[in-house]
Structure 1
Amino acid sequence: MAAQTDDSITAFSGDETASREGRRGRKARQARRAEGVVSAPAFITRQVPYYELLSEEGLQKLDDAADTILQEIGIEIRGDQVSLDLWQNAGAEVEGERIRFPRGLVRSIIQATTPKTFVQNARNPARSVTIGGDNVVFVPAYGSPFVSDLEGGRRYGALEDFQNLIKLAYASPWIHHSGGTICEPVDVPVNKRHLDMVYSHIRYSDKAFLGSVTTTERAQDSIELARIAFGQDYADQNCVIMGNVNVNSPLVYDGIVTEVIRTYATANQGSVIVPFILGGAMGPVTTAGAIAQAHAEAMVGVALTQLARPGAPVIYGNFLSSMSLRSGAPTFGMPEPAVAYLAVGQLARRLGVPLRCGGSLTASKVADAQAAQESADSLMPALLSGANFILHSAGWLEGGLVMGYEKFVMDADHLGMMHSFLKGLALDDNALALDAFREVGPGKHFFGCAHTMSNYETAFFDSELADSSSYEQWRDNGAQDALKRAHGRWTATLKSYEAPPLDPAVDEELQAFIRNKKDAVEDAWY
């Protein structure tokens, strides 16, 4: 891309000085890329307004529908008497495992103590992220049992893949968070792999990360590892780890889920509460009904964190997807979930809580045109909705079953574009460029003017992957498509990766904790 720009300067300016400046600028950009130096913030503070889809009347209808679901049908919490007792003491009606909530009760609990914004601290303080308000945090995809790449094909994920993907997220300036279960390392026993996963986030990155949520003990182990990494006192006073949990939609919380929510909350750590609704399966086929259901389910989980510990950091999550009613397969990048995100964003702001949405979602099996369309059409409404924490921002394939290496770096490049988009439109003296008009005048070009030369390196987003060279240049450079370019990109990134520093004493304590936990139990593979 840079070569084409510089050739254009030479061809059209007739200005040898501009040509020399262009070549120097190109070399400077190449040197910075070789050193991995790209300027990007630890998170985005958006300058683009939210899209307001619904009127106050429309929002009230959705709130009323959610209240009716909570009051008349209720929510079940299965196998967690402590959580049932918390709700009963808060004024809900509990019959067995079914809870019915007086209108407005859940909302009043949330709005009394839930933080509107909070900081999830990273090992490197410069990488800590502020979640909520006008802030946006991009997070890798989560939970895939398989991985794929051009050379290795589709296969079960291994610990090496898990660590590779952490390294790629660490190396990308456009991804703000290390994520959680980036892929499932199935070569490690089920009851022990959480220890290796959390350790890998700490060892191979210094960005914020997510812990385990599959059992209460694994959640507690995750918190203990974070306490070792950050220090006990610091971790007790600050959010240093979060757990991402799914509601057992429709209208059920498994007891393990609510126990995990309480485990993170009572430790003053974050929870991400996410209904998972496929319209027509775990919720109604009508978009408004699915939104009301998701709103009701998410509010109950958010409120539970406040019953466990008032002021605990928490994110109101949402995962709404359509499905093919002919095959039963989930679909992504469709118009109905896109519209739903816009409404959900308004509901979250009305409630006063940070919002999590999905990101670059696709049902495609490979990083092809379908994947690009569906991913873009999933990410953009999430951004316009005002989502603060965008999980599945990079790597997602095959409806979440696969984490794709090439897709990961392609998505990351797209996230860089979204950094520029969310900056909005600058209107300062430099942006208005009146000096350039004065210098150039009518009928001439701007290639070699002072304003262009002082701004051209930062004026436009410079994609690392897109090819905008001439056909002849592209052909002579191997005629590589986007997938092959992405393959070269991630392999080169891993070759040049250097781990962030970690105090050897802390590392030793982390490994000792892991050894003791592993030695205490036999391996379990299911």
Structure 2
Amino acid sequence: MSTETEAPSDATPARRSRRGGGGAEGRRAARLGGGIQAFSYIKRQIPLYEVLGEEGLSLIEANCEKVLQEIGIDFRDDAEALEMWKAAGADVKGERVRFPKGLVRSLIKTAPSQFTQHARNPARSVEIGGKNTVFAPVYGPPFVHDLNGGRRYATIEDFRNFVKLAYTAPAMHHSGGTVCEPVDIPVAKRHLDMVYSHIRYSDKPFMGSVTAPERAEDSVAMAKMVFGDDFVDNNCVLINLINANSPMVFDDTMVGALKVYARAGQASVVSPFILAGAMSPVTVIGTLTQVLAEASVGLAFSQLCRPGAPVVFGTFASSMSMQSGAPTFGTPEPAHVLFGAAQLARRLGVPFRSGGSLCASKLPDAQAAHESSNTVFPGVLAGVNFMLHAAGWLEGGLVSSYEKFIIDCDQLSMMQRFAGGVDLSENGQAMDAIEEVGPGSHYLGCQHTQRNFEDAFWRSGIADNNSFEQWLADGSMDAAQRANAIWTRQLNDYVAPDLDQAIDEQLGTFMEQRKSVLPDSVS
């Protein structure tokens, strides 16, 4: 985690043909994420799963109002933010802000319930909100891991590799943000290389930097070089992650970045970062009360900066080991928080962010698989609109894993199929098949089966479903070893999307100028 109109005319399609794309080999490459095809963001065709009724939701909202009125939220080291709240009618004493009943919710009413984040390739643009789900990669780890080199500090080369892998993954709808932290570049300068990598090596939507207000300003400036000043001022082309410092604090770094993006009309995910038992109460309702208080205040502040600025209600909630204090994932209580927070976001009328393929495992093993599936599946059922950490997360968010990225993307393609719902068409009813086969026969050779056999069932690009003897002949590999071969091949076969040379040169000049005045600092 950190601390976690028409498209422009110069946008160019990214789908460039690779060698061999036809037949069974082409279909297999597509399943494995070879970049031959790309799925649109999910348009849900399944109902929502909700854990709370009206009584529970009203209780949380009433308790939240009490927290906002009587306890308040701290805005630290940002005099402008305090003055803005005071002008809006809040009670400001020192850095503590208390909010009259209804003030926060009334401000949020100007936020859009759904918005488009434009990509430089119009075919890659995504709709965030409503019945839509957008998958985005892991965010924030300082380390990377693969079977070849083990666990090590991330570099800019690793960053570029994950951008390329996200670009080629059909079920990854978004390029993400800090897919890993490139520690070989000074902190004050690395945001430039990260934003550029998203622009140069992918044409999917991407996230801006939030580690300092001036880095947010650089992100907006670079986006304007790609999309044009007027287009950026009137459309969302960037999204970013603003974490509250739970419990109930916003610091000057996060607030400063939020002001930059909101005033530029760009989207902000306002997301409390919760380890229940340490940063929120141990109970689901207590945690949801605090999450609603923190998130809603951040959402409301964005509207003070610019009414109508797009925002996303976010939550990152984990349980913790009460013995060691370490975060735990894939457990029931955070799933309940996720489901409840999704309901609260819908009642506020704004998009929702949560979920991901989260785990505490140190390797892409069975623990990683179970914990990840127990996070991503509730996210899909809850109706998450923007799912950060959808692929690659390992070791509680400390590591971006190459192999797990591939395994997770495979599962995301399954979630894509699941969320598409049940086919009720004439073909889906299959009455012609039932009539043709009749009693006592089989469906293997009937015309309906022949017409549908290629895509009747979702097929994994990772799983081995062959016989034991065939598995032995193929090298007795486990899922992680198969994933290792896949990401290696994908990077070898990668072809970058086109980028206008004049834009590329403008970005390079801007980066060079900015780096010449920025310090080689470590903070």
The residue that corresponds to 2:87 in the other structure is 89
Question: 2:389 maps to which residue?
Answer: 392
Q: TM-score, normalised by structure 2?
A: 0.94
**DSSP-derived class of the 1:316 partner:** strand
Q: Partners of 2:30 and 2:481 in 1: how far apart?
A: 23
Displacement after TM superposition at 1:26 (Å): 3.8
| Alignment correspondent of 1:222 | 219
1:354-393 paired onto structure 2 within 5 Å: 354-393=351-390
Alpha-carbon offset, residue 31 of structure 1: 7.3
Native 8 Å contact 2:32 2:462 kept in 1: no
2 CA distance for matches of 1:177 and 1:32? 18
Rg (Cα) greater in structure: 1
Partner of 2:469: 472
Partner of 2:308: 311
Q: Structure 2 counterpart of 1:79, which letter? A: D
Structure 1 residue aligned with 2:487: 490
Which whole-Å CA distance do the structure 1 matches of 2:356 and 2:322 have between them? 23
C-alpha separation in 2, matches of 1:280 and 1:223: 37
SS at match of 2:286: helix
Q: Distance in 2 between matches of 1:444 and 1:103?
A: 69
For residue 76 of structure 1, what is the amino acid of its counterpart?
D
Q: Once the two structures are superposed, what CA deviation does each residue of 1:449-506 show, in whole Å capped at 9, x if it has no partner? A: 1111111111111211111001111111101000100000100000000000000000
Matched residues in 2 for 1:491 and 1:35: separation?
12
The 8 Å contact of residues 25 and 457 in structure 1, kept in 2 or not, is answered as no
1:39 Cα deviation from its structure 2 partner: 4.4
Residue in structure 2 matched with residue 69 of structure 1 by the alignment:
67
3-state SS in 2 of match to 1:302 = helix
For 1:500-515, what aligned pairs fall within 5 Å after superposition? 500-515=497-512
Q: Which amino acid aligns with 2:83?
A: D
1:43 to 41, 45, 63: 41
Amino acid at match of 2:490: T
Q: For 2:174 and 2:119, how far apart are their aligned partners in 1?
A: 9
Matched-pair contact (CA < 8 Å) for 2:156–2:185: yes
* Residue 189 (1) aligns with residue 198 (2): no
- Give the superposition deviation at 1:27: 5.5
Instruction: Quote how far apart the aligned CAs of 1:40 are.
Output: 4.3
Which moved further from structure 2: 46-55 or 136-145? 46-55
| Contact 1:141 1:391 (C-alpha < 8 Å) held by counterparts | yes
- 1:415 has 2:412 as partner: yes
CA distance in 2, matches of 1:170, 1:91: 46
After superposition, the Cα gap between the structure-2 partners of 1:483 and 1:441, relative to the gap in structure 1 and judged at 3 Å, is same
Cα separation, partners in 2 of 1:372 and 1:125, compared to 1, 3 Å: same
Q: Is the 8 A contact 2:32 2:461 kept in 1?
A: no
Q: Which residue of 2 aligns with 1:434?
A: 431
Question: Partners of 2:26 and 2:336 in 1: how far apart?
Answer: 43
Query: Do structure 1's residue 326 and structure 2's residue 317 form an aligned pair?
Result: no
How far apart in 2 are the matches of 1:410 and 1:498? 22
* Among candidates 96, 109, 118, match of residue 121 of structure 1: 118
Is the CA contact (8 Å cut-off) linking 1:245 and 1:274 kept in structure 2? yes
What is the distance in 2 between the residues matched to 1:407 and 1:35? 14
Show the counterpart of 1:7.
Answer: none
What secondary structure, in the 3-state scheme, does the structure 2 residue paired with 1:250 have? coil
Could you say which residue in structure 2 is the equivalent of 1:13?
Answer: none
Tell me the distance in 2 between the aligned counterparts of 1:525 and 1:53.
Answer: 45
Once the two structures are superposed, residues 39-98 of structure 1 have per-residue CA deviations (whole angstroms, 9 ceiling, x without a partner) of: 443211100111121111110001011111111110000011111111111111000100
Say which of 264, 267, 276 aligns to 2:273.
276
Instruction: Give me the whole-angstrom Cα distance separating, in 2, the residues matched to 1:28 and 1:515.
Output: 41
| Cα-to-partner distance string for 1:253-297 (whole Å, 9 max, x where unaligned) | 001211110100000111110101111111111111011001100
Of 131, 135, 138, the residue aligned with 1:134 is 131
Aligned position for 1:351:
348
Provide the secondary structure at the position in 1 that maps to 2:241.
Answer: strand
Where structure 1 has 5 or more consecutive residues not aligned to the other structure, the ranges are 1-23
Q: Work out the number of aligned pairs and report it.
A: 502
Amino acid paired to 1:251: M
Counterpart of 2:288 (choices 273, 291, 299) is 291
Work out whether residues 344 and 385 of structure 1, in 8 Å CA contact, stay in contact via their aligned partners in 2.
no
